Structure 1
Amino acid sequence: MLPTVDLRPPFNISRASHIVLEVKDLQKSRDFYVKIVGLVVSDETPTTCYLRGLSEAAHHSLVLVQTEGAPACQRLGFRVYLDEDLDSAYAWFTGRGLPAKWVEVPYQGRTLHCEDLYGTKLELCAHMEVRERMFLKFEQFTGAHAQRIDHFQIFAPDCWKACEFYSQLGFRNSEYLAHGDKLLGAFMFRKGTCLDLAIVENVGPKMHHFAYIIPESHLIFTACDLAGNYGYGGSVDRGPGRHGPGGMLYVYLLDPDGHRIELCDGHYQTIDTEVEPVRWDAGSLSTNVRWGLPATEHWYFHASPFKDATTQDPEQKPNPQTLEMFIQQQSTQSNN
């Protein structure tokens, strides 16, 4: 059912590392991520802001870039373990005819820009400058006290092929979503917890969301309260709730440009190779799983485009049970 994983991949990706987003109003976006999410500013210029979580020593996990065009996701960043892994990655991507080039990025060591088979924009580096971890500076905490970046979720027009691509790079599945023999969602990891990269079949490539871990679950409600106080109450896009896959408590928020961020508590370890991925049946799984209502159509289909990427449609349009469908079904049953 799932593609074969290369447990000795050609280069060693260690974790989801950082994301680069283009925004229309840099100050407004900076305030959102500091005051509501609780990130710390590492450095900033008139056109760029570098932020990190409270427990992160690496210089940045979120980069906001001022743009005059339509907001987009520039890159998803992954760390590799050693500099030599970057050379192996360059050889691997170019050997398959995929884009790969060396670039200079502030506060990072050698950096490689590359793309997967559908044009998802990736950025690999082995090192960043280091800053003080702030997780014990309680008097400076703001927002939801976001600790560290955890994972990305992307759209791909063919989930199985995208899963196969990342399986060649050593990504393993903790869980997956399927309907019969059709793979619809892959929840993949490198760092030893259940998620670094989620892939869902839909029009892509697009970035559906990126996620930060919070230290205590009640801070999910703090984020919602602060969103309301700062005028973003309508941007609470889904939740609070509990996932089926992964089992985390969560909330999804839309930033001022519509980029989606998830705040969630921690999840389980996935280090041991004998543990098999958990299969979820799309025919019986609802997004509310055990309690609550399904997600809206907007949550299922809205996503940030990758800058300068050409999207492709899947062979069959996804047809999840949305909140709108659920309400219509309940209304029909009531009328009958």
Structure 2
Amino acid sequence: MPVPPPVLHPPFNTVRLSHITYTVTDLATSRAFWVDTLGLQISAETDTALHLRAMEERNHHSIILQQGVEPRAGALAFKLYEDADLDRAADWFSAQGQGTTFTDDPLTGRTLHTTDPHGVPLDFYARMTRLPSIHQNYALYHGVKPLRIDHFNLFSPDVDGSIDFWTQMGFRTTEYTEDAETGKCWAAWMHRKGGVHDIAFTNGIGPRLHHTAFWVPTPLNIIDLLDLMSTTGYRDNIERGPGRHGISNAFFLYIRDPDGHRIEIYCSDYQTVDPDHEPIHWDLKDPSRQTLWGAPAPRSWFEEGTLFEGLAPREPALKAQPIVAP
């Protein structure tokens, strides 16, 4: 299936992805990983929650770690252009048959809560509490030196359906993987902010969160993180990489936090701001699609993900199989 054409004048204006909440089972253990090892900065800390941001982020947080019983993912949050877009978004989601509610959040103000057709929880806001810039405070840089949150990747039980819905929201497809036997999309990468993606969808049992990614300055930062993790008790948390994706051209590393939440460390993709930017087609059986160079992805990378709170995943309709490492 060819991907639908972009909607250049969507019903509401999404700027970019913003943040996500992870439920973790031991906040102190998670703090040691996300802060002391990865290098995210603490914006706020209580006995039950941590708000974290990366070095270039002025918004209060991009990650919330919330103490809980089982590892889960909360809503995917997106920043809208202006307050009026919240009402436009609410009207549009209601017209699609998706329920909507508003709350007044102390950090994001008036916030819209809704879901996509697969039940993925979504939050939208226009203004978050801002913090002073720290990107030139080089004494704070440590770990992998994360600069900013880059994207979410989800398992979807119907990638074509996800592409269609998110295209109507104004997200534009940059690259996609097609199963030649069925003509269906196996994966897609979609953006708002002018990179390869703010959100991606991969065929699989879902909806589940596959990973959240952070942008880092150079591949050497990833090598430094590997040295650090392998000598500080986190060797087994390294799942895949380093390597370079065919899709996105990104230099990547996939790691797992102490609760199994997957994080991609990511750099070197490309600009996609032109409105007539044409999506790149990949065949599912092309070995350079997932890995231009480096070891193929392990089975865990295709099968394991984080459940969304209160949402039961389902089997995908498409049963096509990519290349999996032995």
TM-score (normalizing by structure 2): 0.96
**Which amino acid in the other structure matches residue 295 of structure 1?**
A
Deviations 1:25-71 (A, max 9, x none): 11111221112211100011111110000010000000111102x21
Query: Contact conserved, 2:9 with 2:170, CA < 8 A, in 1?
Result: yes
Structure 1 unaligned regions, length at least 5: 325-336
What residue in structure 1 maps to residue 53 of structure 2? 52
Q: Which residue of 1 aligns with 2:103?
A: 103
Cα 1:288–1:174 change in 2 (3 A) is closer
**1:102-141 Cα deviation digits (max 9, x unpaired):** 1233311211111000011111111111112222111122
Gaps of 5+ in 2: none
- Aligned twin of 1:175: 175
Cα deviation, 1:169-195, whole Å, max 9, x if unaligned, reads 011011111122211111000011111
Supply the distance in 2 between the matched residues of 1:228 and 1:112 (Cα, whole angstroms).
Answer: 41
Cα separation, 1, equivalents of 2:243 and 2:106: 37
Superposed displacement of residue 273, structure 1:
1.9
- Count how many residue pairs are aligned between Structure 1 and Structure 2: 323
In structure 2, what residue type is equivalent to 1:153?
A: N
Write the distance in 1 (CA, Å) between the matches of 2:52 and 2:109. Answer: 17
Structure 1 residue 312 and structure 2 residue 320: aligned?
no
Distance 2:289 2:170 in 1: 28
> Does structure 2 conserve the Cα–Cα contact (< 8 Å) formed by 1:21 and 1:75?
no
RMSD after superposition: 1.3
Asked if structure 1 preserves the Cα contact closer than 8 Å seen for 2:203 and 2:318, the reply is no
Secondary structure at the counterpart of residue 32 of structure 2: helix
Report matched runs for 1:231-242 at 5 Å.
Answer: 231-242=233-244
Map of 2:200 onto structure 1? 198
Deviation at 1:287, TM superposition (A): 5.7
Q: How has the CA–CA distance of structure 1 residues 211 and 116 changed in structure 2, closer, same or farther, with 3 Å as cutoff?
A: same
Say whether residues 1:226 and 2:228 are aligned partners: yes
Deviation, structure 1 residue 286: 4.7
User: What corresponds to 2:186 in structure 1?
Assistant: 184
| Cα drift, residue 269 of structure 1 | 1.1
1:285 positional shift: 3.0
**Structure 1 partner of 2:34:** 33
> Do structure 1's residue 157 and structure 2's residue 190 form an aligned pair?
no
1:313-328 to 2 correspondences below 5 Å: 313-324=315-326
Distance 1:217 1:289 in 2: 16
Matched, 1:141 2:138: no
Tell me, yes or no, if structure 1 residue 123 matches structure 2 residue 123. Answer: yes
> SS of the residue aligned with 2:92?
helix
Aligned residue for 2:6?
5
| Counterparts of 2:231 and 2:99, CA distance in 1 | 44
Say whether the 8 Å CA contact 1:286–1:321 is kept in structure 2: no
In the alignment, residue 5 of structure 2 is paired with which amino acid? T
Query: Aligned equivalents of 1:209 and 1:285: distance in 2?
Result: 21
Cα displacement string for residues 298-336 of structure 1 (whole angstroms, at most 9, x for unaligned residues): 011111010001212112334221111xxxxxxxxxxxx
1:92 CA displacement: 1.2
Query: Partners in 2 of 1:185 and 1:278 — Cα distance?
Result: 12
1:203 deviation in Å?
A: 0.9
- Work out whether residues 146 and 215 of structure 1, in 8 Å CA contact, stay in contact via their aligned partners in 2: yes
> How far apart, in 1, do the equivalents of 2:25 and 2:104 lie?
24
Distance 1:298 1:183 in 2: 21
Matched residue type, 2:292: R
Aligned letter for 1:6? V
Is this contact kept in 2: 1:243–1:250, CA < 8 A?
A: yes
Give yes or no for contact 2:238–2:256 (8 Å, CA) kept in 1: yes
Task: Letter of the 1:323 partner, please give it.
Answer: A
Give me the whole-angstrom Cα distance separating, in 2, the residues matched to 1:304 and 1:292. 25
- 2 CA distance for matches of 1:266 and 1:288? 15
